[in-house]
Structure 1
Amino acid sequence: MKKQMLMVAGMASMLCLVACDVKDPKQYISQIDNKQVMPVVVPEGFKKITSVAKKGNEILIPFTKYQLDNGLTVILHPDNSDPLVHVDVTYHVGSGREDPGKSGFAHFFEHMMFQGSENVADEQHFGLITESGGTLNGSTNTDRTNYYETVPSNQLERMLWLESDRMGFFLDAVTKEKFENQRETVKNERGQNYDNRPYGLLRERVGEALFPEGHPYSWSTIGYIEDLNRADLNDLKKFFLRWYGPNNATLTIGGDMDEAQTLVWIKKYFGGIPRGPEVKKPKYTQVTLDQDRYISMEDNVNLPLVYMAFPTVHVNHPDEAPLDVLMSILGSGKTSLLYKNMVKNGKAVQANANHSCAELSCQFVLLALPTPGNTLSELETIIRASLEEFENRGGAKDDDIERVKAGIVSDMVYGLESVSGKVSQLAAYETLRSNPDGIGDDIARYENVTKDDVMRVYKTFIKDKHSVVMSIVPKGQAKSIIKADTWQRYERTIPENTGDNNLVLRPGVSDFDRTVIPSPGENPSIKVPDIYRVEIKNGVKVLGAVNEEVPTTTIQLRIPAGQTREGIDKLGVASITASMLEENTLKSTSEELSNQLQKLGSSVSFSAGDNFTTLSIRTLSKNIDPTLVIAMERLTSPKFDTADFERLKKQQIEGLKNAKKNAGSMATEIFSKLVFGYNNSFAHSNSGTIATVEKLTLEDVKAFYTANYGPANAEVIVVSNVNSESMTKHLQTLNNWTGQSSQMPMLNTFPQLAAGTLYFIDKPDAAQSEIRIGKRALNYDATGEYYRADLMNYNLGGAFNSRINLNLREDKGYTYGARSLFNGNDFRGVFRAQAGVRADTTADSILQFRNEINAFKENGLTDEELTFMKRAIGQRDARAYETPNQKLRFLSEIMTYSLDKTFVDDQNTILANIDKAELNLLAAKHLKLDEMITVVVGDKAKVMESLKPMFEKIVELDAEGATL
């Protein structure tokens, strides 16, 4: 989880805290964004705790905090800028509340809470929210579990009904079948995200070594498989009864709401839920080590890794802030010591620092991955020397403090761009600080950090202190660890289960019929963003939208210099050229520019895709001009330094090697090459191939830049609170940009697919198999058959409640998630079904994919599915244009395909009028299994025999896709 402080800190002078004192506790005047609104009547059973309102342009999140008689904390943040609401229920329980031998319960319970409750049927929770045009999820960490959804504003009452039903009316709906199914799903999640992922077990092993046995941070949030296997249904129910009472929960709502009506609904749906057992704050105990603990493991990785973790304090401790500043100086970005001492000189592909904080402990982490020819022992020596360098140079500089504080303020502002972001911050602050206005605390503590503070915490927690030092090395390279392990994994002591198995239930009460699903109100009015078009003097076209909600600006300059401009023998040159533009210029070093950007709170980056290289700019609007100056310096006057090129080339090669260890990305890339042809550049990874990148020269980069990096056919899309006239003036800096451009080359003919063939790539010891089934399909068309085919696929594999996902995940428990999709642009299109599945289910998973695809092709969708699809897609536009990034995606679609913004109206007309017959014809046309190929990346020894009867032809490939 990203450090909370990075999203919500700033300067003390910006703080405004307003406590509203009123004689009548049932009503008060609400001040939101400086506007005085009608008095809010507070229902009986509530008490108002406090409220915070804006008086000027200060940076804060307005809210009012209440508490119900049953202990439920309620935080409301009205925001009518978009017709949506975000609802978050956070329970103060994470893996840190678990007992030894019962790891993973909090995360397991996160899954169970989506499986229906007393008045909500199995799968209905997902179905109702998706049908409402909303999105939902949950997350678990060491300290809390939260459940959240973003929906059109007319769906708020329904969300409160859903959340209250699983808070107060859950246990009677828990069945053995649901329990076993979700146990398998969690195992698949562990397999996909931990066991089958490079470095996936890193933090679990470090936690075991860093914390004493039995400490709740000594195991990972997902838990151990053996603990999940040992759990029974009664264990789960007891966990719910202990931690899931309203007095251990915070309900936070932000968005377009009637505050008085919202309080009435909250009282109605949550008021009858009884309190749970009292919950006290966990007790913090300082973690110390009596010596350095060296540990190691072999993993299916390409590059070794050194990971050094020091125990420090806990979240919100006074020393957290100066430790964060120390972290930035040592290992954040190109201004850091680790970058200078390891990455800049080519000794490491990556080197950085982190200070991750949680309720019971923080870890100060220093990590690095060496380039070939350098050892982990050498990197450890450099890390320790970098710590000494920090001390010998006198610690933090004024420049360091200024840079870090500027980054904190800008990150805080960016965090206010969405209602979900603001709600998440309010909920997190309340849970961990009992004060939703934690922004104020962070402003003060980071504003007050001094150079002496940074040196003090360095000497207190880092200098001459012990740490856990982990070596991860490729399999078969055990001799390359830093030193022999000085600490061994222990046989865990599992306490005997002597607890009372008698469950004391707390049935909720209601004075209404809970079986009746609340009807949504009238659909909100959805306004597509107004757009403007201008053209600056050198012909660059600009498409923009004004976003007045936050003082930020996001700009994308798209240059037709993407992968399609590469020759097949120069694969990767577009990517490495983009990377070179972030290095030294003819005027400045990359470190100098990075330092300037951090002080501005801005970012400037380049990335290469299929068609375009994109210059992405994000800045506070007050800093547009200096940020654009830096961006144009990088774009127009790169130094193309030989040392930079050699370093980046090595990094790109190592990144490609590491990607070959990721079964998911390998399966998708090889599928793409088979479908679109090995001789088409865009079918390959954007980074190229190991063979082609090894042959690239600096002259290749210069030639690619000269041929493609000109203003002709370049496009700008921008979202800002600055109006079009002012933005046009800001963009005049582009007028000095000159250079050549190239035309889109002809594509090579796509290959004839060997339909029905299985292409298999062996990944020994893989816990899961990655499956891709599909073929070429339609190119993008906003209002044509492509759009209609996407509507058709929605019920097959485009939603959580789709047939494919319900079968493979919810019914069979084979996977963490399965889907199908149509994806296309103006020159290629594909249909692909995919999943990562448990290895022993590979053959049957392919069979289930086939059955679902074929049944949909033969029989089409049902009346209920048609209604579900129309409701879900018809209402999701309410959350389509909220943030600057969402507006950018909308503008990008218009710009790329020469659309008018009215294409959205045309799509809505198609959606309203399309019928089952047309969709079924599309399914019959595009879902022909006898036109599809199958790609599997998995352990041949485990799965090949079960696959042989299913395919007439099996072709084995290597990791690059070459035939063996």
Structure 2
Amino acid sequence: MLSKITSFLTILILFACQQESYETQPQLDVNYEKFVLENGLNVIFHIDKSDPVVAVSITAHVGSAREKEGRTGFAHLFEHLLFLESENLGKGGLDQMSARIGGSGANGSTNRDRTNYYQTVPKNALEKMIWAEADKLGWFINTVTDPVLAKEKQVVKNEKRQRVDNQPYGHVYYVANKNLYPSSHPYNWQVIGSLEDLQNATLNDVKEFYNKWYTPNNVTLVISGDFDTNQAKACVKKYFDEIPAGAAIDPITPMPAQLDSTVKVYHEDNFANLPDLTMIWPTVEVYHPDSYPLAYLAQYLSQGKSAPLYQVLVEDKNLTSDVRMYDYNAELAGEMYLNVRAFDQVDLDSILNAIKTGLARFESDGISDQDLLRIKAQQEAEFYRGISSVVAKSFNLAQYNIFANDPGFITKDLEQVLQVSKADIMRVYEKYIKGKPFVAASFVPKGQLSLALENSKQAEVVEETITQGAEEEFDASIVAEYEKTPSSFDRSQEPPYGADPSVSPPQVWEVQLTNGLSIYGIENNEVPIVDFNLVIAGGQTLESTDKLGVSNLVAGMMTKGTQYKTPQQLEQAIEQIGATIDIYAEKENIRISGTALAKNFSQTIALVEEILVSPRWDEKELALFKNEVSSWIQQDAASPGRVAQNTFDSLLYGAEHILSNNLLGTIESIDKLTMSDLKSYYQKVSPSITRMHIVGAINQTAVMKATESLTNTWASKQVTLPNLPGQKRPEDAQLYFYDFPNAKQSHLRIGYPAISSVDSDYYPATVMNYILGGAGFASRLTQELREAKGYTYRVWSYFAGGIDNGPFVIGSSVRTNVTLESVQLIKQILNEYGATYSNNDLETTQSSLIKGNARAFETARAKLLMLENISTYNWPVNYITDQEAVIRNMTIEQIQGLANNYLNSDQMIWLVVGDAKTQLPRLSALGFGEPILIN
């Protein structure tokens, strides 16, 4: 649940502006209303009637920076607790209610300085959400018990293992901040904290934290979407007014980091396969005037073909495939990060020397007017792309209100973004980077310490020891006993729904060009952006076993210049008009995905056309890209999650099936592929097997005009898609184990080849799976493995569908020392699912899926998915209505029949990726024979 909300990139507002020049301040009409209750609660309303939904978010001005020493990670732990229960919502809290009312799923995030809680719901459930959020703020703390706290500690510790301890380079930020800030600075520790501190948290700590920080005068409530402001205001006052204010909270002033000299540290990473260097310079807090040119500086130095650091490290010296640089600004301080993951066996001192060369090149050449305008065009486009959902709008209204003391700060924020000059960029470079001390963290594979920077000292990193039975036992189901918090009215009665919103699919148009290209579109004028994709059938399925990875290379090379533009010229042409064009291979497709400012759509499509019909096939770029892909493959091998997915694919499809292979290929296959192989595959890239989907502020006439040239320039070719062999589920279950020494978690993949999306059972089976593992926090797998046992942070199940028989999959990563217990519990849930499926389960499924259709078309991404479903499976435009009929008519007997047919644990593949020396011997107790050790 950790996340990072940055400033203008996800800004929220409605406005109309056509900018004549980046030097001219745009006129913004910020649509919001703010009022403050007597208890200090800040309330902000934003109206957006484009969809019948409303987002409700609560943001508390407290994050890890307000924690006590020895209780690091407490703000984030508390975020978890606040979802679980309150006096009037009862057990399950917002998670259970969300499933009933068709919400997006209650969620939250914690950073250094704030914690937020949010959900998007159908508009008729607004009063329910206001009631629920008020209950959390005023009627929560009595429901927290020692067993509940013990369970949630395990969940958060699992999250830390998943995000940090069990990941390559997972400790980089810990090492960086420990060496950048003194122990007295609140940014010295990580938001997620340490395992020891989390374990030491007590019930008294929880109560003290809640009473101090979760008070109305430290909280901002934002409601964004389609609602009546008078009714909403009355509800807010009814449910929040009587919550008492807390003690006044003193503001914190900025505390920038201070380094007297450069600090070099190293860490031998148990999971890393490649050496990695991260450099960190102290910078400024959020909204500081210098933060804007620092963002430009980071982008110019590192991103793209014209970036000095990219030119030196990637193209000139071939030390890496990528350079990342970014400025992170928080309430008290900021940090500039520069990260380079080097190729195998590259000494990080050579990386540092190359960085110095790149910076010297920037000092000499500066930044051109063209590059400055290019970056500003990207900023404008990113701005529009960040305001497409009501929940994103609510995030940013709260962000501005808390950290700029003004929800309408957007005007000043955007002004400062667009008024950055070349002089500003050079000024902040000289002030914060040039010749200034920094922290340099060298992360190297085990046994390769010689690759770390010279004169580095060992970083202090706490590694967890795997101990069987180390965690305490608890029973989180115990109901707390307490005297209810008084109220002036009966809060135990959940408010009724409002009037049902009217939901209808957006209008879809469809045409087919004479070259066979099918185009599907939806006009949507909420923001002046167009989202589009082209889905070209084939992907990995058109490869042969002796040309593994060729589809990925073709996709990557298509953006490496054209016959008329060098790679750098093509990149600049795309960025100059504020567009994005990405091309990548998938198992069954090659996908071209992009966005454009509506006014620049025709120019963007002209570039797509040039990419499609006139690839450059540059040998130098191919060599660079092959190095990059080989690096990705090495990194895949170091990630337990990627190993689990790739290994599961090989078990699902079998060694002879093309889809059993890594989409990237192997290092050996990539090395052997030639430009001739790529050109041969490219002959299968044809409009006759391509579907184009377009959503945004553009009508059919304008689209047809923009794509008219494609009819003549992109010639149709006859392509025969392979008839892949059908895969059958195993006759008997088989358990496999992939050894990942010293893994802190075991990654689980369980399933079998199931059904395609055009099978008559596909959607009914998806409905059946909702309560099993598709309902998020309300699903049985989550309730049992996470909420009851604390074994995992996340668990899920789904039917993948697709043109061919997609798999049924259960996935999770669990605490290493409960690997056996976790798979035993999953097996039990599967075996009992049909027999224990209840009327309440069916009612929850029907209510959630039907009411949730109010959100079905809210975002551009959702509309694109709708178009893809129509074009791929030949579904009708109103297929949502047909699916609703399936849901309404579903019976328990049908659910049970589907469960008996599709959830047979004795006919599944069971894969565990974890620490063999401690877990492999235990797994024979699962009942599927001795596990097969794969590696």
Taking structure 1 as the reference length, the TM-score comes to: 0.91
Residue matched to 2:63: 94
Query: Aligned match of 2:338 in 335, 351, 366?
Result: 366
Q: Is 1:148 aligned to 2:151, yes or no? A: no
Q: Secondary structure at the match of 2:431?
A: helix
Residue in structure 2 matched with residue 3 of structure 1 by the alignment = 6
Aligned partner of 2:581: which letter? V
Give the equivalent residue in structure 2 for 1:444: 415
Cα offset, 1:952, TM superposition: 4.8
Task: Look up the equivalent residue of 1:138 and give its one-letter code.
Answer: G
* Residues 465/261 of structure 1: CA separation in 2 closer, same or farther (3 Å cut): same
Name the CA distance, whole Å, in 2 between partners of 1:74 and 1:352: 38
Counterpart of 1:409 in structure 2: which amino acid? E
Structure 1 residue aligned with 2:724: 747
1:696 aligns with one of 658, 664, 673: 673
What residue is the counterpart of 2:313 in the other structure?
342
CA distance in 1, matches of 2:750, 2:268: 32
What is the aligned partner in structure 2 of residue 196 from structure 1? 166
1:302–1:658 contact (8 Å) kept in structure 2:
yes
| Structure 1 residue 486, shift from structure 2 partner | 4.5
Inter-partner Cα distance in structure 1 for 2:863 and 2:537: 21
Give the Cα separation in 1 of the matches to 2:914 and 2:620. Answer: 39
Shift of 1:810: 0.4
CA RMSD of aligned residues (A): 2.2
CA distance in 2, matches of 1:291, 1:233: 42
Q: Percent identity?
A: 34
Contact residue 667 and residue 937 of structure 1 kept, 8 A: yes
Mapped partners of 1:58, 1:908: distance in 2: 44
Distance 1:540 1:59 in 2: 40
Distance 1:238 1:586 in 2: 66
- Alignment partner, residue 133 of structure 1: 102
Asked if the contact 2:176/2:439 (under 8 Å) is kept, the reply is yes
Q: 2:112 is matched by which residue type in structure 1?
A: T
3-state DSSP of counterpart to 2:487: coil
Shift of 1:536: 2.2
- After the TM superposition, which residues 625-664 of structure 1 pair with which residues of structure 2 at under 5 Å, given as runs? 625-664=602-641
From the superposition, tell whether residues 134 and 725 of structure 1 become closer, same or farther in structure 2 (CA, over 3 Å): same
1:851–1:487 distance in 2 versus 1, CA, 3 Å: closer
Question: Which of 450, 468, 477 is the aligned partner of 1:479?
Answer: 450
Q: Distance in 1 between matches of 2:82 and 2:10?
A: 28
Q: Does 1:351 align with 2:323?
A: yes
Tell me which residue corresponds to 1:835. 812
> Which residue of structure 1 lines up, in the alignment, with residue 79 of structure 2?
110
CA distance in 1, matches of 2:201, 2:893: 48
Aligned partner (choices 873, 884, 889) of residue 897 of structure 1 = 873
Matches within 5 A, 1:279-678: 279-299=249-269, 300-345=271-316, 346-372=318-344, 374-393=346-365, 395-486=366-457, 489=460, 510-678=487-655
Q: CA deviation digits over 1:548-574, x for unaligned, max 9?
A: 211111121122241111112212110
Q: CA deviation at 1:941?
A: 0.9
Do 1:577 and 1:701's aligned partners in 2 also have CA atoms closer than 8 Å?
yes
1:80 and 2:49 matched: yes
Give the C-alpha shift of residue 883 in structure 1: 1.2
| Cα distance, 1:11–1:597 mapped onto 2, change above 3 Å | farther
- Name the CA distance, whole Å, in 2 between partners of 1:778 and 1:349: 39
Q: Are 1:870 and 2:846 counterparts?
A: yes
Cα deviation for residue 721 of structure 1 reads 1.5
Q: Which residue of 2 aligns with 1:21?
A: none
Residues 333 and 861 of structure 1: CA distance in aligned 2, closer, same or farther (over 3 Å) = same
Asked if the contact 2:606/2:706 (under 8 Å) is kept, the reply is: no
Instruction: Indicate the larger mover: 147-156 or 583-592.
Output: 583-592
Is contact 2:73-2:198 (8 Å) kept? yes
Residue type at the aligned position of 2:525: E
Q: Deviations over 1:894-944 (max 9, x none)?
A: 000011112221111111111111111111111112111210000001111
For the Cα contact (< 8 Å) 1:766–1:939, is it kept in 2? Answer: yes
Cα drift, residue 832 of structure 1: 1.8
The equivalent of 1:44 in structure 2 is none
- Cα gap change, 1:847 to 1:169, in 2 (>3 Å): same
- Report the alpha carbon displacement of residue 718 of structure 1 after superposing the two structures with TM: 0.7
1:219 deviates by 0.7
Question: Are 1:261 and 2:231 matched, yes or no?
Answer: yes
Secondary structure class of the residue paired with 1:781: coil
SS in 1 for 2:755: coil
In 2, the alpha carbon distance for the partners of 1:741 and 1:103 equals 62
CA 1:59 to 1:625, structure 2 compared with 1: closer, same or farther past 3 Å? farther
Shift of 1:824: 1.3
CA distance in 2, matches of 1:5, 1:310: 22
Partners of 1:277 and 1:433 in 2: CA distance? 22
Distance apart, 1:79 and its partner CA: 1.3
**1:400 and 1:669 mapped to 2: Cα distance?**
40
- TM-score normalised to the size of structure 2? 0.94
Shift of 1:13: 11
> Kindly tell me: are residues 157 and 329 of structure 1, through their superposed partners in 2, closer, same or farther at Cα, counting changes over 3 Å?
same
2:477 matched residue in structure 1: none
After superposition, give the CA deviation of every residue in 1:803-846 in whole Å (9 maximum; x if it has no partner): 11111000000000112221111212222222100000000101
Q: Distance between the aligned counterparts of 1:283 and 1:325, measured in 2?
A: 26
Q: Following the alignment from structure 1 to structure 2, what is the Cα–Cα distance between the partners of residues 822 and 920?
A: 17
Match of 1:31 in 2: none
Say yes or no: does 1:937 pair with 2:913.
yes
The residue aligned with 2:899 is 923
Which of 236, 241, 245 is the equivalent residue of 2:211?
241
CA distance in 1, matches of 2:555, 2:18: 40
* Structure 1: distance between partners of 2:919 and 2:426: 56
Match of 1:721 in 2: 697
The answer (yes or no) to whether the contact 1:117–1:171 under 8 Å persists in 2 is yes
Shift in Å at residue 479 of structure 1?
1.6
Q: 3-state SS of the aligned residue for 1:371?
A: coil
How far residue 541 of structure 1 moved from its aligned partner, in angstroms, is 1.2
**Which ranges of structure 2 fall in alignment gaps of 5 or more residues?**
20-24, 463-481
Take 1:808 and 1:326, find their aligned partners in 2: how far apart are those partners? Answer: 46
- Quickly say closer, same or farther: Cα 1:918–1:748, change in 2 above 3 A: closer
The alpha-carbon deviation at position 481 of structure 1 amounts to 0.5
**Counterpart amino acid of residue 360 in structure 1:** L
CA contact (8 A) 1:621 1:721 kept: yes
CA distance in 2, matches of 1:217, 1:172: 31
**Amino acid of the structure 2 residue aligned with 1:335:** S
**Whole-angstrom distance in 2 between the partners of 1:448 and 1:535:** 44
2:468 corresponding residue in structure 1: none
In structure 2, distance between residues paired with 1:724 and 1:948: 61
2-structure distance, mates of 1:359, 1:208 = 18
The answer to whether the Cα contact below 8 Å between 1:12 and 1:447 also exists between their aligned partners in 2 is: no
In structure 2, relative to structure 1, the CA distance for the partners of 1:420 and 1:9 (3 Å cut) is: closer
Give SS of 2:494's match. Answer: coil
- 2-structure distance, mates of 1:327, 1:60: 30
Structure 2 contact 266–456 (Cα < 8 Å) conserved: yes
**CA-CA distance at 1:509 after TM superposition:** 5.4
**1:588-629 deviation digits (Å, cap 9, x = unpaired):** 112122122222110011111122211112101000121112
